[in-house]
A and B are shown apart, each in its own frame.
Chain A
Amino acid sequence: MPNFKQRKLESAVAAIQQQHGTRALQKGKTFPKERKPSGISTGFPVLDQITGCGGVPVSRMTLLSGQTTSGKLTLAYKLLANAQRKGRAKKATQPVAIIDLNQTSDPDYLARCGVCLDHLAIAYPQPNAEAVRLLFDMVQQQRDGQQGVRFILVDGIANISRARRAMRALDSRAGRLARSLRNSDCTLLFIDEPAPPWQRWLNLDRSHAIRNHAALHIELRREHWLHRHNQLTGYQATAQIIKSRWASKGKAASIAIEFNGTVRAAQTY
C-alpha cells in the first residue's frame, strides 16, 4: 500500500480509537490461505487446467451437473478410474465406491470407461435417511484412519430429495461432511440434474447445500453428436466451471467423448 494511503489509514484508526476506545477498532488477524489440494485428473487435460487444481480436488466435495446425455456419468466414471490409480501408476489398487440411488450402474460401461471392477464396490441403500447416514459413515471411516475408500460417487440426489427427512438431514449436515472430508483422504463426487439459474440464486434448487459447500462445481452441456462416415462415434460437450475455489468461474472447456469399444477422451479446442 502506498505510504500516503497507509498514513491516512493509520490516522483514521487512531482518531476512532481516541474517540471510542482502543477496542472499538482493532487490526484483524491474517487468515492462512487455503492450501490448494492435489487433484484427480478428469482424463481431459484442458478441463484439468481450468479447474485450477489439476482435476477434481482431493479431500473435497465436487458437484457435477448436467442434463441426461451430457456426459456427466462418463466423466464421473473416468474420474473413478483415475482415482483407483495412485499417482501415475497404471495398475488400479485403490478401492472406490458408488452409492447408486438410481440403481442404474452398468458394470459393462464402467469397465469400458477404465474402472477396475475388482476394486469397486457399489452400494444400494434405500433413498432415504439411511443413504445419508451411509455417506457419513464412509467418509468418517476414512477420516478415522481405517482402511476406507478413496473416492465416493453419489449418483441420484434426485431420489433423496423425494424423502423430506433425508433431504433435511443432508442439508443440515453438508457443512460437517465437507469438514470431515478435509481431514480424510477421501474425495466425494455428486451427480445431479442442473437447476435454472434463478433457482440457484435463490437457493431453491435441491442440491443447494451441496453446491454451497462444494469446492468445485462443473456443469456439462452436450453440444452435438460426432459422426464419422455417417456413423455415430461420440459427442462433444462443454464443461463450464460454475464454482471453483482456485480458478475463476465461468471458464469453459470443450471435450469430446468417443465410442469405439472403449470410452476415450478426445481433445478439441
Chain B
Amino acid sequence: MSVLCCSIPEFTIRTVRRSHPELVDQPLALLDDQGRVAALSNLAHRSRVQTQMTARQAQMRCPDIRLYPLSQTRCDEEQATLVSLLAQWELPVEEIGWGKAYIDLKPLTARRSEVKLLSVELGQRIRNELGELLQPALGWDSSKFTARAAAHYTQPGHIRLVDKADESRFLHNLSIQLLPLSANALQQLQWMGIRTLGQFAELPANAVRQRFGKAGLQAQQWAKGQDTRPVQNSLRPSYETDQTVQLDPPSSQLEPVLQSLLAALNPLLGQIALRMEGLRRLQLSILFENGELSEIDQQWLDPIGSTEALTASLIQQLQTLSWPGPMMQITITQLETSELPAHQMTLFPDLDVVPMPEQNPVDNTESFSANQPLFGGKSSRRAVSIPPHTQRLRVCFANLIERHGPIFWRPELVQTNHPVAERRAIYVGL
C-alpha cells in the first residue's frame, strides 16, 4: 500500500483566522450553539482552556481569549473544497475529519521519489487554493496509522516520508496517545509505565488481548506498523439504519427514554469501537403520543468514542427539545462515523495532550529525509526562538515532561503595572 495522509491542524480555527488576520497571534476559541468551546487554538490551550468549557470559564482562564461562533456551513464549504482538491487525481480518498483525509497512491506509485513529487504538487495546489494558513502537513507510509502519525508530527507546509523499513524505528518513540484507545485503557497503560508505541508493541499479545480486548490487540498491531486497513473511497462513511425504539408505555421522563435509546445504540457503538472509529453525526426521529414528529440532528466537531460523551450530548439534546407530550417512538435514521483523533483524549483530565510538532518535535529524524523544505514558499517558515532559560528548564524537566505530560509552565511577567492581577503574567509551556 501507499498511503498519503493530508492533515491541516486546527482546521476550524485557521478558517476563522484566514478571514480575520488580526487573530493570528491571539488565543482563539470557537463556540458552538450552546455557547460552549468547541475548538480552541494552541495559545488558548496553553492558557489551560479546554473544550466544553463555557465562554465565561474560558475567559477566566485566559482573559485575552477571543471568542467567535463556530460556523458549521463555512467549515463544510472549506472541507468540500479540500476534498475536491484531493480527489482531482481520481484516486480513493477517505475523509477522516476536519482538514484530514487519506489518499491511496498505490494505483499511481509506491516509490518514495515519485511520492515526494506528487506530495509537493498537492501541497502547492492546496496552498494556492485555500491560502497559506490552511496549508497541510503531509505524511506518507505504507499504512494508514503510520502515515497519519507522520503527518501529525510534521509542521504545515512540510512532508514526512517514512519508508517501510523505517516504520518500527519511526513509531518506536512516539507517544502512545496517538492510538485511539479509550481513556481507561490509556490510563492503565500510564500506570504500567507504558508511554511510547515501542513499549506498547513489546508487550505480549495475549496479555494485551486479555486486558484490552480486540481493540487493544488491533492497536498493538498498529503500534508495530501493521495496519492493513485499506483506504476506503467513501466520503464520510455513514450508516443508514431504521432501527426503532418503542417506548412502552409512552414516557415523558428523560431517564427511561435515555435508557431505552442507549440500549438500542450500544450494539452499534460496540461495532464502531471495534473499528477504532467514533460517532460524527447522529440523526433521530422522535414520535410523540399526540402524533407530532421531531428531529434531532447531533453533529460532533470531533468524533466521540465514549458512552459518557454520547450520553451527555443526548441529555442536552433531549432537555432542550420541546416535548408536546409523552414520547412514543424513536427512530435512529442516520449514523456517521470516522476515525477517532488522538487529541480527543483532552476531554479526560488525567490524560495529556499529544504535543504539536512545534512544541515537541520528534528527535528521530536522521534516518529519513523528513521535513523537506516546504512546497516552494519561504514565508510560512517561521523560526521559533526559545529563550536560554526556558531551554535550560526544558532540559531539566525533559524526563518529567515525557512521563507526566505538558503540566510544567514557566511564568513570565509582561505587564507589572496592570490593574488586573491575572493579566500581569503569562505562562510559557516547558
List chain A positions with a Cβ less than 8 A from chain B.
95, 97, 105-108, 110-111, 117-126, 128, 130, 133-134, 137-138, 141, 146-149
Contacts and interface: CB of A to CB of B under 8 A. Distances in A.
Contacts of A149: 396
A125 B407 contact: yes
B421 A108 contact: yes
Contacts of B430: 121
Interface string B381-416: 000000101001101110110011001111111001
B413 A123 contact: no
Contacts of A148: 396
A130 B403 CA distance: 11
Contacts of B400: 134, 137-138, 141
A125 B408 CA distance: 9
Nearest to B393: A121
B411 A105 contact: yes
Interface residues of B, number: 27
24 contacts: A97-B408, A105-B411, A107-B411, A107-B424, A108-B416, A111-B416, A117-B410, A117-B413, A118-B387, A118-B389, A121-B396, A121-B430, A122-B408, A122-B427, A123-B404, A123-B408, A124-B48, A126-B350, A130-B350, A138-B400, A141-B399, A141-B400, A147-B396, A148-B396
B21 interface: no
B185 interface: no
B107 interface: no
A110 B411 contact: yes
Interface of B: 48, 349-350, 387, 389, 392-393, 395-397, 399-400, 403-404, 407-413, 416, 421, 424-425, 427, 430
B421 A123 contact: no
B403 A147 contact: no
Nearest to A138: B400
Contacts of B409: 121-124
Given A124-B48, A137-B399, A147-B396, 10 more contacts: A95-B392, A107-B425, A108-B413, A117-B411, A117-B413, A118-B387, A124-B409, A125-B404, A126-B349, A133-B404
Main secondary structure of the interface of A (DSSP, over half): mixed
Contacts of B413: 107-108, 111, 117
Contacts of B396: 95, 121, 147-149
A108 B413 CA distance: 7
Given A107-B412, A107-B413, A117-B410, A130 B404 contact: yes
> Which 3 pairs, one residue from A and one from B, show the smallest C-beta to C-beta distance?
A107-B411, A107-B425, A118-B389
Contacts of A126: 349-350
B411 A122 contact: yes
Nearest to B387: A118
Given A107-B424, A149-B396, A121 B350 contact: no
Given A119-B389, A119-B393, A130-B350, A108 B425 contact: yes
A191 B407 CA distance: 20
B199 to A, nearest CB: 17
A29 B416 CA distance: 60
Contacts of B48: 124
Contact of B403 (A118, A121, A137): A137
A97 B393 CA distance: 10
Contacts of A122: 408-411, 427
Contact of B399 (A97, A107, A146): A146
Nearest to A124: B407
A98 B425 CA distance: 16
A235 B288 CA distance: 68
Contacts of A138: 400
A121 B408 contact: yes
A119 B394 CA distance: 11
Contacts of B425: 107-108
Contacts of B399: 137, 141, 146
A119 B392 CA distance: 9
Contacts of A97: 408
Contacts of A118: 387, 389, 410
Nearest to A108: B424
B412 to A, nearest CB: 6
B403 to A, nearest CB: 6
Nearest to B403: A137
A118 B394 CA distance: 12
A146 to B, nearest CB: 7
Contacts of A106: 421
A148 B397 CA distance: 7
A193 B410 CA distance: 27
A97 to B, nearest CB: 8
